[in-house]
């Protein structure tokens, strides 16, 4: 009898627990469902209110109601800069134009004050402006000279290393301390006692026939640079040397970066600021290639603009002693060293500033 009573009690307890759990679950489910329905109703009301306000367009009443909840100072500033709240068509158009100009030029670093950028910390080395040539005829001339510099100075470098060398040439041609043509920069000093700015122009490297694949790569890098591609990593660098040398002009300049096996430098002070790279670039001429040999195997007719055709080293198979490639034995001065005096006394416009000017720019 006791066993039967105990069994019935256990059954009643189990049934009670099940009923309590079911009731609790139903209650929780009802609360959750009610909360979801309330949230849905609130969202529906919000959507309905927005739809009513924007029936075709925002009504004046809805806009006035929204504006009345804004801070008075913020509302005054918003109205002052809103082109559609300005009275008069001319004033409204002017306001819209000014706003568009600010939005378009807001991300240009060169528009910001120099002192403000310097105060933000870090080295100041903004990217150079893109380089563009005037016409296709000039492009064919300058491309050969720039490809020469890329090939002989950075033939074994990565595309980034080659682009950095091309950027140095383009930076130089726009700086007042260097010649004003690309070929003039590349072959600067080739016929002067001071030596070449780029060693390949004087050490006889151009006497050998270029490797076709390497030359094609260098020409592509030069073409992209002339089309406006900027190597921002070297910024406004105007000098470089390989990691295996330590030229005496290094301490006078400001180190910018190392790309591959080359270390790049720029002028200090105003001489290295973006405003210094604004000189007008002129087309290269035959005078930019000193002592260039006359090749009877190549046509000698003038180009389309009436100027002599320039034959650069990539077209040469043999050259005379002391020709465009320069003597085979020269001094130990590294490539791209700062020139100590003008390359040509007759061409003052393309002359390089004396050493005192360079020292001042590097040390300021």
The two three-digit tokens of residue 353, written as one number: 């500033």
Counting residues of the chain whose pLDDT is more than 90, the rounded percentage is 17
| pLDDT in the model for residue 214 | 94
Q: Are 157 and 165 in contact (CB under 8 A)?
A: yes
For the chain, the average pLDDT equals 70
Cα–Cα–Cα angle for 264, 187, 235, nearest 5°? 25
* Range in 94-98, 294-298, 333-337 with the lowest mean pLDDT: 294-298
For 250-269, b/e burial (b = at least 16 CB within 10 A) is bebbbebbebbebbbbbbbe
Tell me the per-residue pLDDT of 105-145, one tens digit each, with 9 for 90 and over. 554 444 444 443 443 344 556 777 888 776 655 567 788 89
| pLDDT in the model for residue 215 | 94
Q: Indicate if the pLDDT at residue 250 is higher than 70.
A: yes
| pLDDT in the model for residue 63 | 65
What's the N-to-C CA distance of the chain in angstroms? 111
- The predicted model gives 213-239 an average pLDDT of 91
The two three-digit tokens of residue 153, written as one number: 């100075």
Tell me the per-residue pLDDT of 60-106, one tens digit each, with 9 for 90 and over. 666 677 777 777 777 777 666 665 555 556 666 666 666 666 665 55
Q: Indicate if the pLDDT at residue 5 is higher than 60.
A: yes
Closest CA to 148 of 316, 308, 291, 285: 316
| pLDDT in the model for residue 162 | 95
| pLDDT in the model for residue 118 | 41
Report, in this order, helix, strand and coil percent for the chain, each rounded to 5: 50, 5, 45
- The predicted model gives 289-306 an average pLDDT of 45
């Amino acid at each position: 009898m006791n066993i039967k009573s105990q069994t019935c009690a256990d059954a009643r307890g189990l049934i009670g627990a099940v009923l309590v759990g079911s009731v609790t679950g139903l209650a929780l489910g009802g609360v959750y469902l009610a909360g979801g329905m309330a949230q849905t109703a609130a969202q529906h009301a919000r959507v309905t209110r927005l739809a009513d306000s924007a029936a075709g367009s925002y009504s004046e009443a809805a806009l006035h109601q929204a504006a009345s909840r804004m801070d008075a100072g913020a509302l005054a500033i918003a109205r002052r800069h809103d082109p559609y709240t300005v009275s008069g068509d001319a004033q409204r158009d002017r306001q819209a134009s000014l706003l568009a100009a600010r939005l378009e030029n807001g991300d240009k670093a060169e528009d910001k004050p120099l002192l403000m950028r310097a105060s933000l910390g870090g080295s100041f080395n903004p990217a150079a402006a893109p380089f563009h040539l005037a016409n296709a005829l000039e492009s064919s001339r300058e491309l050969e000279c720039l490809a020469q510099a890329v090939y002989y100075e950075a033939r074994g470098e990565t595309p980034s290393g080659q682009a950095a060398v091309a950027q140095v040439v383009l930076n130089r041609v726009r700086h007042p301390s260097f010649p004003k043509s690309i070929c003039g920069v590349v072959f600067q000093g080739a016929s002067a006692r001071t030596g070449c700015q780029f060693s390949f122009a004087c050490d006889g490297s151009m006497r050998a026939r270029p490797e076709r694949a390497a030359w094609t790569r260098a020409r592509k890098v030069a073409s992209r640079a002339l089309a406006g591609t900027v190597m921002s990593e070297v910024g406004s660098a105007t000098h470089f040397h390989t990691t295996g040398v330590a030229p005496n002009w290094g301490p006078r300049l400001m180190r910018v970066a190392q790309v591959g096996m080359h270390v790049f430098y720029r002028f200090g002070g105003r001489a290295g600021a973006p405003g210094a790279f604004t000189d007008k670039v002129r087309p290269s001429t035959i005078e930019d290639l000193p002592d260039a040999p006359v090749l009877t195997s190549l046509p000698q007719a003038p180009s389309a603009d009436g100027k002599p055709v320039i034959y650069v080293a990539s077209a040469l198979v043999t050259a005379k002693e002391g020709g465009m490639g320069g003597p085979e034995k020269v001094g130990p001065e590294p490539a791209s060293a700062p020139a100590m005096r003008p390359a040509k006394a007759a061409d003052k416009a393309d002359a390089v500033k004396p050493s005192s000017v360079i020292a001042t720019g590097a040390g300021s």
